[in-house]
Amino acid sequence: MFIRSGEQGAALNPQEVLRVQPWGHTAQGEEVTLFTLSSRSGLVVRVMDYGGVIVGVEMAGRTGERADVTLGHGHLAPYLDRDTSPYFGALVGRYANRIRQGRFTLGGADYQLPVNDGHNHLHGGPGGFDQRLWQATSGVNEEGPFVQLSRISPDGEEGYPGTLSAEVTYVLRHDSALTVSYRATTTRPTHVNLSNHTYWNLNGGRSGVLDHLLWVDADRYVPVDAQGLPLGGTADVSGTPLDFRRPQRLGNHDLSGPRQPGGYDHTLALNGSGLRHVATLFGPSSGRRLEVSTTEPGVQVYSGNFLDGSIVGRGAQRYDQHWGLCLETQHFPDSPNQPAFPSTRLDPGDVYTSVTRYAFSVSGRVSGNTDPE
C-alpha cells in the first residue's frame, strides 16, 4: 500500500522518513523541490525533481562520524549550470554516454542530434534530462520512502524521434539500499539509455578517491579512441589497468597512459544478466562500502578526470582531479552505430526497464572473493 505525500513543504510521515521542502527556482521561475529520504539504519538520501539529481547520500563511517559520500552542493544554483555541476548526481538521458557525431540511422531515416562534446553527442545533449524539471510524487511504501519522477519528452526533443514517456523511481529501503528503477515507452522507434551520474567519495569529500579499492565483475571492456568512442567490439581486461576482477586500488596504475588518459573513463562489459551484484567500492580510511547491483550490461567507470579544483562544492571543498568516482550503470557508448553491442532501440509497444541498486555498509575490513580486502 502506498501512502502518498501531502502538500509540498509539510512533514509527511510520523516516523520522519520522508521530508519534502521547496529548494528554490530555475531560471524560468519553476519551483524546485528537495526530497529527503531516511532509513531506519540512519542512511539519508536527498533527491530533487530538477534533473532527477541525487543531491546527497549521508552515512556514518567506521568511527561513527557522519559524512556525505557524494560530490555536490548545498544549494540549488550551482546545479543549474554544468560548469559548476558537471552532472553531479544527475539523471542522464535520453542517451547516457557518447554517440559519434550525434548521428544514427533508424528505420531508414537519418537523425542528427546536437553535439556538445567536441564533435559528438554526450548524455542527451545540451538540453538533456539533467536539465529538465520532472513531475514528482513521493510517499512511503512497505520498503521505505520513495520519490517517483516522470516527464514526457516530446518527439524531436534534442533530435530524438518519438514522444518518450519516462519514469524514474528512487526507493530508500530500510536495509540501507537505494534502488533506482527506470521505465520508458515511446510513440516511434528511438534509442534510450538512461543512467545516474553520481560522483562517489567514501572519504566524505575531504580527499580524493585514488585510495579507494574497486572490484568489478567484468572480463571485458570497450576499447575507445581519444574521443571516448568505441574502436569496435570488446577486449579482454587481462593485463590492463581495467582488470578489477580482483580488488584494485584506483591509484595503483599510471593514469596518464593512452588507455586511460588522465584517469578512468571506460565502459566495462559486465558478466551475467538480470539484477546481480557487479561492483564494490571500499574506502579503507573510512570503512564505508558501496555495493552496486544492476540489470544493465555495462558500467562506465569515470574517475573525475576533468575536475580541476575550480568547482567549490559542499562544505567549501574544492573538487580537484580524481575527487570522485562515477559508476554509471548503462548500455555501451555509441550503441546506435555499433550493431555488435547490446541494442538500445525501443519500439512502440515495448517497455524500457532498468534497475540499479546501491547498498551501503561500514566495516573495519571487507573480505571475500569478490570484495576489496
**293-314 pLDDT tens trace:** 999 999 999 999 999 999 999 9
Task: Let me know if 197 is exposed, middle or buried by CB neighbors in 10 A (0-12, 13-18, 19+).
Answer: buried
364: left (phi over 0), alpha (psi -120 to 50) or beta: alpha
Pick from 361, 344, 365: which is nearest to 353 by CA? Answer: 344
- Which residues 6+ apart lie within 8 Å of 180 measured at CB? 168, 169, 170, 196, 355, 356, 357, 358
Catalytic residue status for 73: no
Q: What is the pLDDT of residues 268-286, one digit of tens each?
A: 999 999 999 999 999 999 9
**Within-domain flag for 123:** yes
Catalytic position from the list 121, 123, 328, 331? 328
User: Does residue 79 contact residue 85 with C-beta atoms inside 8 Å?
Assistant: yes
Q: Which amino acid is at 178?
A: L
Catalytic position from the list 121, 197, 322, 331? 197
Q: Which residues pair with 289 in a beta bridge?
A: 282, 361
Specify the CATH number for the domain of residue 223: 2.70.98.10
Average the pLDDT over 28-42 and give the result.
95
Tell the residue number behind the cell numbers 511504501, with chain if given. 141
Q: Which amino acid is at 204?
A: G
* φ/ψ (deg, to 5) at 348: -55, 140
Q: How far apart (Å, rounded) are the C-alpha atoms in residues 238 and 221? A: 10
Task: Let me know if 299 is exposed, middle or buried by CB neighbors in 10 A (0-12, 13-18, 19+).
Answer: buried
Q: What is the model's pTM?
A: 0.93
Average the pLDDT over 100-113 and give the result.
97
User: Does residue 336 contact residue 352 with C-beta atoms inside 8 Å?
Assistant: no
Average the pLDDT over 115-134 and give the result.
97
Provide the 3-class DSSP secondary structure of residue 359. Answer: strand
**Within-domain flag for 373:** no
- Which residues 6+ apart lie within 8 Å of 280 measured at CB? 214, 215, 247, 289, 290, 291, 292, 366, 370, 371, 372
pLDDT of residue 259 exceeding 70: no
User: Does residue 208 contact residue 320 with C-beta atoms inside 8 Å?
Assistant: yes
User: Does residue 221 contact residue 299 with C-beta atoms inside 8 Å?
Assistant: no
**Within-domain flag for 11:** no
**Within-domain flag for 47:** yes
Catalytic residue status for 253: no
**Within-domain flag for 5:** no
What b/e readout covers 211-224, taking b as 16+ CB neighbours within 10 angstroms?
bbbbbbbbebbbbb
Under the banding of pLDDT at 50, 70 and 90, the label for residue 256 is low
**Within-domain flag for 12:** no
User: Does residue 35 contact residue 169 with C-beta atoms inside 8 Å?
Assistant: no
Q: Which residues pair with 60 in a beta bridge?
A: 66
Percent of the chain with pLDDT over 70: 91
**Within-domain flag for 90:** yes
Number of independent structural domains in the chain: 1
pLDDT of residue 35 exceeding 50: yes
Tell the residue number behind the cell numbers 501531502, with chain if given. 6
Q: How far apart (Å, rounded) are the C-alpha atoms in residues 164 and 192? A: 9
* φ/ψ (deg, to 5) at 297: -80, -15
CA dihedral defined by 184, 150, 24, 91, rounded to 10 degrees? Answer: -20
**Within-domain flag for 214:** yes
Structural domain including 128 reads: 17-362
